C-alpha cells in the first residue's frame, strides 16, 4: 500500500488523478467517505487524519505553492515572453495614429 506522500507525488504528476482528487475533496460536496474511498481506490493506507496532517505540514509556513506545483497548473507562466511588435532592443515602437 502507498503512503500519503507517495499518493501526493502521483497526484501532482497526473492531471486526471488531480481532477479526481479535487472532486473527492470538493468542500461543497465532500464528506469523509469520499476522501476515504479515493484513498482506498488508489491503494493508499493513510487515514483521513494522516492526510489532513500531511497537507497541513506541507502548507505550514508556506503562503504559496512551489514552482513545481505551479508548473503543473494549466495556463501557468511560461519561460518565454511574447515580443510581438517590439524592436531588437525589446522596446515598443513609437505610437503612430496614421
pLDDT in tens, 15-24: 999 999 888 8
pLDDT in tens, 7-55: 999 999 999 999 998 888 876 665 778 888 999 999 999 988 898 888 8
Statement: the pTM of the whole predicted model exceeds 0.75: no
Sorted by where each begins, the domain ranges of the chain are 4-71
- From first CA to last CA, the distance across the chain in angstroms is 69
Number of C-beta neighbours around residue 16 at 10 A: 8
What number of CA atoms fall less than 13 Å from residue 94's CA on the CB side? 2
Amino acid at each position: 500500500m502507498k503512503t500519503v506522500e507517495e499518493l501526493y507525488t502521483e497526484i501532482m504528476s497526473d492531471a486526471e488523478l488531480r481532477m479526481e482528487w479535487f472532486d473527492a475533496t470538493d468542500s461543497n460536496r465532500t464528506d469523509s467517505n469520499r476522501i476515504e474511498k479515493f484513498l482506498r481506490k488508489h491503494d493508499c493506507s493513510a487515514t483521513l487524519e494522516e492526510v489532513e496532517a500531511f497537507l497541513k505540514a506541507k502548507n505550514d509556513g508556506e503562503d504559496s505553492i512551489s514552482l513545481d506545483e505551479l508548473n503543473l497548473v494549466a495556463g501557468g507562466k511560461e519561460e518565454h515572453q511574447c515580443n510581438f511588435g517590439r524592436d531588437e532592443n525589446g522596446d515598443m515602437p513609437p505610437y503612430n495614429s496614421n
